[in-house]
Amino acid sequence: MLAAAFWIAVWQVVAMVVHRDFLLASPGAVVVRLGDLVVTGGFWATVATSLARIVIGFTGAAIVGGALATLSSASRVADALAAPLIATIRSAPVVSFIILLLLWTDSSRLAAYTSFLMVLPVMYQNILAGIRNRDRALLEVASVFRIPWMRRVRAIDVPAVLPFFAAACRTGVGLAWKSGVAAEVIGVAQGSIGERLYEAKLFLESADLFAWTIVIIALSVAGEAVVLWGLRRAQARFVGGPTHQGAPS
């Protein structure tokens, strides 16, 4: 808390030195602007629009990443086919995808697709690592006793994959927001947070830029909290306690 206060003080001092609101708004001006924004109906509509698209992208990445990881764990061919694709998506610059997607689709869908593409490799690689981390000794038990696969998934697979999936979610939520909003800015998606950021640049409103950035951070942190809360509940249900084991960073 003290460190945060220090940096806010630094920001205040720099803003006073610069003394040009359009270049660097002071913390006070940003808070005032944020207060003005929050009470407008348009603010909440904008937040809802961006939130919906980014949630769709993130959820899609979790589902498709999980499905691809399951395929790759079961088939060498699928693994060999997926690996270069995932590596390419992972290392390609996000703006390349955004511009390519702009050629293919309209800007309203851009944020969802971009978030999806950025989160997909994280989901795929973590879930695959989780599947490969399953206890071989227990899998042999499942095979000897012919445990029905639904039971096996619940008792052996899910507890092994859950910590890896949680790690993917922690990384993925932030990534989805950053890349999704970047796509909205570049595509100037109507009624989105990205469009507000674009306008802030256009009209030299640095207070707006900071206010919306705070909104994005808050949404990202809240999103992460919601996802982790859900994962803790899943953990309690499937593993019966908050004890993590073998969780990757």
Partner 1 sequence: MRNEGGPPEGAVMLSGVTRRFGDQVVLDGFSLALAPGRVTALMGPNASGKTTVARLVLGLDRPDRGRVERRHGLRCAAVFQEDRLCEHLGAAENLALVLEHSDPAAIADELRAVGLDAEAMAKPVRELSGGQRRRVAIARALAGDADLVTLDEPFTGIDVETKPALIAYVRERLAGRTALLITHDRSEATQLGATIVRLGT
Part of the chain binding partner 1 (CB under 8 A), chosen from 51-59, 88-96, 181-189, 233-241:
233-241
Figure out which of the listed residues 17, 146, 150, 242 binds partner 1, where binding follows CB under 8 A. Answer: 146
Figure out which of the listed residues 55, 78, 81, 239 binds partner 1, where binding follows CB under 8 A. Answer: 239
CA–CA distances in Å: residue 37 to residues 17, 43, 214: 26, 6, 12
Cα angle 42-40-53, degrees, rounded to a multiple of 5: 35
Q: Which is nearer to partner 1, 93 or 241 (CB)?
A: 241
Figure out which of the listed residues 6, 7, 44, 145 binds partner 1, where binding follows CB under 8 A. Answer: 145
Question: Under the criterion CB under 8 A, does residue 84 sit at the interface with partner 1?
Answer: no
Rounded distance between C-alpha atoms, residue 134 and residue 137, angstroms: 9
Question: Under the criterion CB under 8 A, does residue 242 sit at the interface with partner 1?
Answer: no
Q: Which is nearer to partner 1, 6 or 145 (CB)?
A: 145
Count of residues that interact with partner 1, criterion CB under 8 A:
17
Q: Which is nearer to partner 1, 19 or 146 (CB)?
A: 146
Residue type, 130: G
Q: Which long-range contacts (CB under 8 A, 24 or more apart) does 38-46 make?
A: 45/191, 46/191, 46/192, 46/193, 46/195, 46/196
Cα angle 124-115-238, degrees, rounded to a multiple of 5: 45
CB 145 to partner 1: min, Å: 4
Cα angle 210-215-218, degrees, rounded to a multiple of 5: 125
Rounded distance between C-alpha atoms, residue 112 and residue 33, angstroms: 28
CB 248 to partner 1: min, Å: 19
Report the 10 Å Cβ neighbour count for 12.
13
Question: Under the criterion CB under 8 A, does residue 231 sit at the interface with partner 1?
Answer: no
Figure out which of the listed residues 147, 188, 214, 231 binds partner 1, where binding follows CB under 8 A. Answer: 147
Question: Under the criterion CB under 8 A, does residue 141 sit at the interface with partner 1?
Answer: yes
CB 139 to partner 1: min, Å: 10
Question: Under the criterion CB under 8 A, does residue 202 sit at the interface with partner 1?
Answer: no
Question: Under the criterion CB under 8 A, does residue 83 sit at the interface with partner 1?
Answer: no
In the block, tokens 């207070």 appear at 207
Report the 10 Å Cβ neighbour count for 70.
16
CA dihedral sign, ordered 93, 193, 219, 169:
negative
Figure out which of the listed residues 84, 93, 240, 242 binds partner 1, where binding follows CB under 8 A. Answer: 240
CB 159 to partner 1: min, Å: 6
Instruction: Using CB under 8 A, list all residues that contact partner 1.
Output: 137-138, 140-141, 143-147, 151, 155-156, 159, 238-241
